[in-house]
Amino acid sequence: MLGPNRYGKAETRLVRVIRDGDTHSLLDFNVSVALAGDLAATHATGDNSTVLPTDTMKNTVYAFAKEHGVGEPESFALLLGRHFVVSQPQVESATISIEAYGWDRLGPHSFAKRGDYTRTAVVTVTADAAQVVSGIGGLVLLNTTDSEFHGFVRDRYTTLPPATDRILATAVDAKWRHLAADGDWAQSYEMAVVALKTAFAETYSYSLQQTLMAMGTRVLTERPEIAEVRLALPNKHHYLVDLSPFDLTNDNEVFIAGDRPYGLIEGTVTRDDVPAAIAEWWL
């Protein structure tokens, strides 16, 4: 028996130049489309009479970029999602996922690509509702102190020493679900990221779990339009280098930046009694 399924066009690369005289603006998106609905026939017999080609989805992305322009990723995703649901009666839901890459202006028409983090948006549209999830990926944060980790469970395999002053570093992957499918997406995103950064910097941490809770709580406290926040925080370990063979002391000054393995802390911070999501959403 056929279970839940969907199909679409993944990772359509879109660059849109906005020309305003000699001053240009640049938007750089990676757009993925996934449609679900009356698709049993194509799976069972190869009957494609309800299948919109994925190539058409790609073409729609580019045509909409010209016809409607490209603004905030949430707005563009809502536009695309509603189009597929309204224009294709066999489609029950459309999920549009966008990665937005930042460029810093160097001049009227010159830019340098940011390599530090990526803005994300995932929009799910049905005939009756829409759900907007915004986020950020790869935001690297680090505190050189104000972090401890001790009092943990020990067994015969435990070798980790307790720490009362350590580097705490992570690469934040965070997504937050909005209460409504409209709003000032640019300001909401900007201020949610500020809240994440501020909470990380201002929290004296006894565990990365505690820091995760503080970051999610700060977003919900400062952004009333957000229903819940999901975070994945890899612990980017920094190990103190043993300098004793060189007759040198190391007072938390010289470290090895570890690559892998790493601890991974994941969690959701939510408001009480928020409306249920219309579609599953993940980090």
Active site residue 24: no
Active site residue 54: yes
* Helix, strand, or coil (residue 243): coil
DSSP state, residue 163 = B
Which amino acid would we find at residue 105?
R
Residue 173 token pair: 């992957």
265, 208 Cβ separation under 8 angstroms: yes
* Helix, strand, or coil (residue 218): helix
Helix axes 73-87, 185-202, angle to 10 degrees: 130
Q: Are strands 255-257 and 238-240 parallel, antiparallel or unpaired?
A: antiparallel
Residue 28 token pair: 């750089």
DSSP state, residue 205 = B
Catalytic residue among 58, 178, 236, 237: 237
Short-list 100, 106, 110, 109, CA closest to 20: 109
Short-list 95, 49, 52, 99, CA closest to 73: 99
Give every CB contact of residue 180 below 8 A, 6+ residues apart in sequence: 132, 225
Cis peptide before 261 (omega within 30 of 0): yes
277, 206 Cβ separation under 8 angstroms: no
Catalytic residue among 54, 118, 144, 217: 54
End-to-end CA distance of the chain: 29
What is d(CA 191, CA 57) in angstroms, rounded to the nearest whole number? 32
Q: Catalytic site residues?
A: 9, 54, 237
